[in-house]
A and B are shown apart, each in its own frame.
Chain A
Amino acid sequence: MCTLKLITVDALLSRVVRWPSYAAVDVIMDSSYKQSMIDNMPSGYFVTDVTQSIQFANRYALSHLGYENLLQRPLSEILTRASCILFESYVSPLLVREGVCNEIQLSLKTASGEKLPVVLNARREESDGEVHWTFIGATQRDKLFHELVQARNLLEEKNRLLEARTVTDDLTGLANRLSVTQYLTEHLKNARVRQTQIVVVFIDLDGFKAINDSHGHLVGDQVLKAVGQRLAGSLRTSDLVARYGGDEFVVLLEHGTGESKKNERMILRLLQKLRTPFQINGQMLSLSASAGATVYPQPGAVEPEQLIRQADQAMYKSKLAGKDQVSWFDPQWEATQRTYHELISQMRAGIKQDQFVLHYQPKINLLTGAVVGAEALIRWQHPERGMLMPMDFLPHIDSHHIEQELGDWVIDSALRQIGNWRARGLLLPVSVNVSAYYLMSEKFLDRLLALLHNYPGVPASQLELELLESSAIDDSRNISSIAGVCQRMGIKIALDDFGTGYSTLSHLRNLSVDVLKIDRSYVQDMLTNPSNVAIIRGIIGFAKAFNCLIIAEGIETDEQLNALVNLGCHYGQGYYIARPMPAESIESWIAAR
């Protein structure tokens, strides 16, 4: 019987017998045959004991490793040093814990000191800690891996080239719009986890168009390049600077949380850098930049594009506030904006669905009590919020196109009402409130003419436009010319809330008006505040000097009425006389007087 020095073949095979393919073999074969069978296995096989010393090695193992004998040699002797590390830190714990380790690639050391790449399988006996190892050569596998690495390097190189072309701005060599989105998409995912903060800065050059216009595009391009260089030169390599388009740049900064002051300083430094004149082709060119910034994370979820939009909006705020500064995006603002857009679309629907109505407040001759006209006041019968007063919605749509649509509707409705009353024998002029934005809107006079044309039975003189004094003086020259045309058409012009808008005599001279309306604030306090009386007296003096009619607003008591009459104001309106009322109530109100 062939006996191995430490383990008999029988003992060995009684262990391997649990490997199913050997089960039948064990019964019929004697030990020497078994020995030769193990030796003839087309793979290396060896056994180590609990001290990691080799107890058996088959012929394949010996011949491939070039040893005569491996008995009692420590395993570490046939492992390369790198393999020792993987063995100790990975294979060995795995064997202790799970009993097997499959398909690990290590390198064995041959007797001549060469490295033999192999794939190993190992199984550990729980009872005595012996480990059975098999291995096959991995030269072919190594070769494939080597080719794979080469293929990967090639692909990496190609990808780098491709990526450089798709994420780089041709003119400045900076990152482009696409890479901003990519950067944000990648970094947002991890910013929360890494406990960092990403600041998105949107920078738009002030005065770049002028440089382009006066020096040409070639110079403009050079300026853009130089701006890019300055921005990139002022930041850390971990920050991203991109040309976003035209003269817009985006800078992305990543910081630890709670460093917002540092961020602000950094952005201000960027703006300062851009303020230094640029020397292009021997010329000194100056510009500045407006910046907007926003921070991630935010209380709610945000997409990369949203962050850019926020920074862009904040930048616009800087432009409005006088340029060359930085503004921060306020997350609350977006909520406000949503409401704003909702309001506009509801108003548009409201116009179509007749949710708006005009109420009329009579104006009377204070001496005789005769009704001389009515002021049309808009109301919104909101399907959910109920009856809304002008103050509830007009201030929110300042300078929006919807003002024009609503203004046209008001004039149209007022003209129709004047026509209806006239048809029933009531000749009542109506005044409507118009904003300067409305008066200055595109083709206002054309639209006004068309509206008048729709109501041929209504003389233009029955319509009066009430213009807020404050809005009239913003652009007095243009306003006065439009108002002048209206007057030539026969329409009357009134200056509303007079006394509150800091008019100067020259304004009044430019703006020829037919009616001055004394603001309610003077009327309300006139009995207790002598200076208000003085102001009213002054306004009356003006009105007489400029030959216009004077009407007091907000008369709430008999005493106020009498006092105004005594001061020489002969027309008025107010709750004491009548509240604004629906059109259909006017006739009965007049009849009841």
Chain B
Amino acid sequence: MSDYSIKARNNVKIIGSGEHVLMLAHGFGCDQNMWRALADKMGNDYTIILFDYVGCGQSDFAAFNANRYTTLDGYASDITDILSELNLSDVTLIGHSVSSMIGMLAAIKAPDRICKLVMVCPSPYYMNDLPGYAGGFERDDLEELIDMMDKNYIGWANYLAPLVMGGRADQSDVENLTSSFCSTDPRAAKTFARATFFSDYRDILANCPVPTLVLQSLADSLVPVNVGEFVAGRLPQATLRILDTQGHCVHMTDPELTGAEIRGFLG
């Protein structure tokens, strides 16, 4: 479709300057704003591409298609669509959390466009698969998550409104209760949650075609250190760096440390 721009669909923003291009992919629950601190630190030396996945942030929610985004492959297509529209190659893709796996899928799809990956707190599988693998969660935990999202997203009246209105209310009628920085379309958010937390990409790690930096937080309640080690162990060309910091969003809480690691990796 020549009249429809992927840039507009994914709310693509290009900032900074530099020969090398970094593409920053946000994780579940957030949008490109989560990169602001890191982007500010890297923008002087790199060209930075920010975007929102369809259904997140300021993307075009009308483009959301539950089929496409049921698996992480659909999100990876958002990345390759953008790279292809901008006609970029040799890009370093920095993905936070689930975007680490999405980035890897994108690199497998378009190895000529993505030359390096940085995975910030990645997990290929969030569930426990004991004894060999401790993802950290049981299925019940993840079902509870979906239920909890419902409780947080749905305005009481709006929860019933679409049904009362005959099931055909515009998505815009269903308001996000906590719509601020991390605005996400509720329908898209649940689809994203399922794609993120219920799928298993452990076997794909070996197919990753590009050198990868794995950044793992020392204390991350979402992703245990053993998962970071597992990821680095399975990737063919990985560098694991365990950061002496807490939390899952190290690029927000420790942008300097994260930035330094990335610079070191890019050389």
Contact = CB atoms under 8 A, between A and B. Distances in A.
Interface of A: 50-52, 74-76, 79-90, 92-94, 96-98, 101-107, 129, 142, 144-145, 148-149, 151-152, 155-156, 159, 163, 182, 186, 189-190, 192-195, 257
B156 interface: yes
Given A88-B249, A159-B166, A82 B160 contact: no
B246 A82 contact: no
18 contacts: A50-B246, A50-B253, A52-B221, A81-B137, A81-B144, A88-B247, A89-B29, A92-B249, A93-B30, A93-B34, A94-B181, A105-B152, A145-B150, A155-B160, A163-B167, A190-B62, A190-B65, A193-B63
B229 interface: no
Contact of A89 (B151, B166, B248): B248
A104 to B, nearest CB: 6
Q: Tell me the dominant secondary structure on chain A's binding face.
A: helix
Given A51-B246, A74-B221, A107-B144, 12 more contacts: A74-B219, A84-B222, A87-B221, A89-B248, A93-B34, A97-B36, A98-B181, A103-B177, A104-B178, A148-B160, A192-B3, A195-B1
A81 B167 contact: no
Q: Which 3 A-B pairs have the closest CB atoms?
A: A89-B29, A76-B221, A81-B141
Given A145-B151, A163-B167, A194-B63, A93 B182 contact: yes
Nearest to B160: A152
A159 B145 contact: no
A75 B219 CA distance: 11
A86 B27 CA distance: 12
B164 interface: yes
B163 A97 contact: no
B244 to A, nearest CB: 11
Given A86-B148, A189-B62, A94 B180 contact: yes
Nearest to A138: B151
Contacts of A155: 160, 163-164
B198 to A, nearest CB: 12
Contact of B141 (A82, A88, A97, A104): A82
B60 A80 contact: no
A92 B148 contact: no
How big is the B interface, by class? 35 or more
Contacts of B138: 81
Contacts of B3: 192
Interface string B68-107: 0000000000000000000000000000010000000000
Interface string B202-226: 0000000000000000011110000
B126 to A, nearest CB: 8
Q: Which of A52, A96, A152 has the most CB atoms of chain B within a 10 A radius of its CB?
A: A96
A83 B3 CA distance: 42
Given A51-B246, A97-B33, A86 B152 contact: yes
B14 interface: no
A90 B148 contact: no
A155 B180 CA distance: 31
B51 interface: no
A87 B249 CA distance: 11
B60 A193 contact: yes
B182 A90 contact: yes
B148 A82 contact: yes
A143 to B, nearest CB: 12
B222 A80 contact: no
Nearest to A53: B246
Nearest to B26: A93
B28 interface: yes
A90 B31 CA distance: 10
B142 interface: yes
Contact of B247 (A52, A101, A149, A194): A52
Contact of B163 (A86, A144, A152, A193): A152
B15 interface: no
A420 B184 CA distance: 86
B149 interface: yes
A74 B29 CA distance: 22
Nearest to B220: A88
B141 A80 contact: yes
B148 A83 contact: yes
Given A93-B29, A104-B152, A98 B180 contact: yes
B34 to A, nearest CB: 5
A96 B252 contact: yes
B159 interface: yes
B197 interface: yes
A82 B145 contact: yes
A357 B141 CA distance: 89
Contacts of A82: 141-142, 144-145, 147-148
A163 B166 CA distance: 9
Given A105-B151, A152-B163, A89 B144 contact: no
Interface string B18-42: 0000000001111001101100000
Interface string B107-144: 00000000000000000000000000000111001101
Interface in B215-267: 219-222, 246-249, 252-253
Nearest to B252: A96
B253 A96 contact: yes
Given A89-B29, A148-B156, A107 B1 contact: no
Contacts of A193: 4, 9, 60, 62-63
Nearest to A106: B148
Contacts of B247: 52, 88, 92
Contact of A86 (B149, B181, B246): B149
Contacts of B150: 145, 149
A311 B252 CA distance: 56
A97 B34 contact: yes
Contacts of B178: 101-104
Contacts of A104: 152, 178
B248 to A, nearest CB: 4
Contacts of B4: 192-193, 195
Nearest to A196: B65
Nearest to B221: A76
B178 to A, nearest CB: 7
A156 B159 CA distance: 12
Nearest to B141: A81
B99 to A, nearest CB: 11
Given A148-B159, A194-B63, A90 B29 contact: yes
Contacts of B28: 89
Contacts of B164: 155
Nearest to A145: B151
A83 B144 CA distance: 9
A86 B145 contact: yes
A81 B136 contact: yes
A151 B160 contact: yes
A93 B152 contact: no
Nearest to B36: A97
A89 B27 contact: yes
A86 B29 contact: yes
B144 A80 contact: yes
